[in-house]
Structure 1
Amino acid sequence: MRTAPTRRALRPLVAGAAVTLLLAACATGTPEGGSDATSSTAAGDGAFPVTLENTFGETTIETQPEAVATVAWGNHDVPLALGVVPVGMAAQTFGDDDGDGIHPWTYEALEELGGTGDALPELFDETDGIDYEAVANTAPDVVLAAYSGLSEDDWTTLSEIAPTVSFPEIAWGTNWRDMALTNGRALGLEDEAQEKIDEVEQQIEDALGERPDVAGKSVAYAYLDPTDLSSVGIYTKVDARVQLLSDLGMTLPASVEAFEDDGLFYVDLAAEQIDQVADADIFVTYGDENLLATLQADPLLGKLPAIANGAVVVLPDNTPLASATSGPTVLSIPWALDDYLDLLQAAAQNVK
């Protein structure tokens, strides 16, 4: 089974109160001056030092990292896709199918690189936020968190352990391409990261050719509690799972496109406001085999055309498929692509 901090839920995980640790002894560097991520000196050629800019400041990595730690959701997939086994990574909880804290696509990559058994990376328990001490104990040369919801305190504390690559702009708003490129740049492997991105894009193109009804449909992606349908969370255009749907040829309805997100990856709508997303062809959410009937029976949600028509994708909640598409990576997308597109194709055929 595989574990991840539940960014699927409506709020990003950030650490609580700062933890005082004696980190200086393990520190390998702190962020200092340089250019932004897009003009980084790495330039895909492995040149160091390299400087990356993020929301909280600049991170300079003096030499190519050998010991790589990752925190938050999915960042470990980038070094693994590039042939590097992390010394430590976050245990994944959402969609963990067998209780081992590692998603199936990640485990497959670890197996290919000899990173299982005694060579398995340290798994950080992030249930209550970043475990700074556990990260420090792995003595990393760099900490990768390009896709994350790190607070400034998180970033500052991690940067005392090793140069820390945080999200470029918006918490939980880094798409899978930028996650790969940013983390890859920090490793001196930007060109290799771009090659992986190109491979995934080709796989998407090929798979879409077999599901012609998906492209062009508009979609609203929601989080809801079937036991309390008084409100619904709608993910905004900054969210990675929504961005993946755009990569799959789908569009955002004007209603979702216009949401004022204020840097959040979701907005809350009262059930009485749900008609604001009535322009969506397809409705995507998490649940079980009973959810569609529950939604259609609801006096408010049942009036949405997508729900009334059965143009609904219900991702089985807390499964690898739900996790793979909620926080997409260069490894999780190929793993989930066919199953996800099959669900979208079936919903698209119910659009009226």
Structure 2
Amino acid sequence: MRHLLALVLSTLWATATLAQDYPLTVSHAFGETVIEAKPVRIASVGWANHEVPLALGIVPVGFARANWGDDDGDGLLPWVSARLEELGAEVPPLFDEGDGIDFEAVAATNPDVILAAYSGITRADYDTLSRIAPVIAYPHAAWTTTWREMIRQNAAGLGMADQGAALVADLEAQIATAVDKHPDLKGKRGMFVTHLDLRDLSTIGFYAAADQRVQFLEDLGMATPKAVQEASEVGKYSGRVSAERVDMFDDVDVVVTYGDQARLDELLKNPLIARFPAVARNSVVLLANDPMGTAANPTPLSIPYVLDDYLTQLASAATRTTP
């Protein structure tokens, strides 16, 4: 399947390269970006934007170092390493974004375009990057781009809109096939709690309806609880509510969050948290700082890598009725 897709995408790319009219224009939250000619040197900033050109057979000249889920410390997530190996490519320069965008490192790669469709860049960041090369920013708001929009937006900036659409369709087909194996999960209501923090038990943080972690749960057949929808602010990827209002989440079937069982056990000693039905019955998927935890925030290359394992964990949590 993957090799067939690669062949199809390669053919589409060759055709599109000949047929694409330039300049082309890509609209985004900061206005419009004009691409004067077919970009060859591709750089990216922010989370996983480099996976789009990699999935389409292009090795970027530089991209952000992985700072979450990198289990071997090489700055690459395993599905990125695997794809570079498939393409027979060396690891390009990795930008350290621990303290923000490294503009000098980006400029040093001399890119033709900078992909940032899924990111949190500010207007100032965008203006600075635009002095280096044309920038493909997010379509709506920071960190609210879905994996589909990430692919389509970045692919458009590469002059590969048709290939991006084909990639989306292929991933959707893979998801549908995997979801069919877990019919009992369909319609279960899933909530993604941002973290389990023992230092602050006064509030509950959650990813909002616009966040792609939440939307990925919907891709997997689940539903977003009404309380999460109502508590989500437009244009915001996360929110917080007082722990005293935990009863509002009584329709949640499964909670997904970052942490471990020991931390969850400590939280359950808090009388407010103990009133959270899904948590009390341990209908929880606990994600660690590892590839699985990273891939719950879906990206073009991570979806096939962890899809079956993630669905299995969600389905298991959905069937629990006791702690």
Q: 2:279 aligns with which of 307, 319, 330?
A: 307
Q: 2:215 aligns with which of 225, 243, 251?
A: 243
2-structure distance, mates of 1:311, 1:275: 16
Q: Using the TM superposition, give the Cα deviation of residue 336 of structure 1 relative to its aligned residue in structure 2, in angstroms.
A: 1.1
User: Would the aligned equivalents of 1:145 and 1:164 in 2 still touch at CA under 8 Å?
Assistant: yes
C-alpha distance after superposition, 1:246-265 (max 9, x if no partner): 11111111101112414221
Give the gaps of 5 or more residues in structure 1: 1-41
Q: 1:100 aligns with which of 65, 74, 99?
A: 74
Q: 2:294 aligns with which of 323, 330, 340?
A: 323
- Asked if 1:286 is matched to 2:258, the reply is yes
- Higher mean alpha-carbon deviation, 269-278 vs 289-298, is at 289-298
- Asked if 1:178 is matched to 2:149, the reply is yes
User: Would the aligned equivalents of 1:73 and 1:147 in 2 still touch at CA under 8 Å?
Assistant: yes
2-structure distance, mates of 1:46, 1:184: 13
Superposition pairs of residues 1-352 of structure 1, within 5 angstroms: 46-116=20-90, 120-228=91-199, 229-316=201-288, 318-326=289-297, 328-350=298-320
Q: Using the TM superposition, give the Cα deviation of residue 351 of structure 1 relative to its aligned residue in structure 2, in angstroms.
A: 5.5
TM-score normalized by the length of structure 2: 0.91
SS at match of 2:268: helix
Q: Which residue of 2 aligns with 1:36?
A: none
User: Would the aligned equivalents of 2:196 and 2:264 in 1 still touch at CA under 8 Å?
Assistant: no
1-structure distance, mates of 2:163, 2:76: 24
C-alpha distance after superposition, 1:295-336 (max 9, x if no partner): 4332111111111222111112x111111112x111111111
> Which of the pair has the greater relative contact order for Cα pairs under 8 Å at 6+ separation?
1
User: Would the aligned equivalents of 1:282 and 1:351 in 2 still touch at CA under 8 Å?
Assistant: no
C-alpha distance after superposition, 1:100-131 (max 9, x if no partner): 11100011111111222xxx211001011111
C-alpha distance after superposition, 1:118-167 (max 9, x if no partner): xx211001011111110000000000000011100000110110000000
1-structure distance, mates of 2:82, 2:232: 39
Q: Using the TM superposition, give the Cα deviation of residue 232 of structure 1 relative to its aligned residue in structure 2, in angstroms.
A: 1.8
- Higher mean alpha-carbon deviation, 43-52 vs 134-143, is at 43-52
TM-score normalized by the length of structure 1: 0.83
| Amino acid in structure 1 at the alignment position of 2:89 | G
Q: Using the TM superposition, give the Cα deviation of residue 347 of structure 1 relative to its aligned residue in structure 2, in angstroms.
A: 0.9
C-alpha distance after superposition, 1:227-248 (max 9, x if no partner): 2223221110111111111111
SS at match of 2:184: coil
| Amino acid in structure 1 at the alignment position of 2:213 | R
| Amino acid in structure 1 at the alignment position of 2:177 | D
User: Would the aligned equivalents of 1:44 and 1:185 in 2 still touch at CA under 8 Å?
Assistant: no
SS at match of 2:255: strand
Taking a change above 3 Å as real, the CA distance of residues 280 and 104 of structure 1, as seen in their structure-2 partners, is: same
| Amino acid in structure 2 at the alignment position of 1:165 | I
2-structure distance, mates of 1:240, 1:45: 33
2-structure distance, mates of 1:226, 1:256: 19
User: Would the aligned equivalents of 1:44 and 1:191 in 2 still touch at CA under 8 Å?
Assistant: no
User: Would the aligned equivalents of 2:196 and 2:257 in 1 still touch at CA under 8 Å?
Assistant: no
C-alpha distance after superposition, 1:155-191 (max 9, x if no partner): 0110110000000101100000010011011111111
Give the gaps of 5 or more residues in structure 2: 1-15
| Amino acid in structure 2 at the alignment position of 1:104 | P
Greater share of residues in helix: 2
The percentage of aligned residue pairs carrying the same residue is: 46
Alignment: residue pair count = 306
SS at match of 1:285: strand
Taking a change above 3 Å as real, the CA distance of residues 139 and 70 of structure 1, as seen in their structure-2 partners, is: same
2-structure distance, mates of 1:351, 1:335: 29
SS at match of 1:48: coil
| Amino acid in structure 1 at the alignment position of 2:96 | D
Taking a change above 3 Å as real, the CA distance of residues 346 and 44 of structure 1, as seen in their structure-2 partners, is: farther
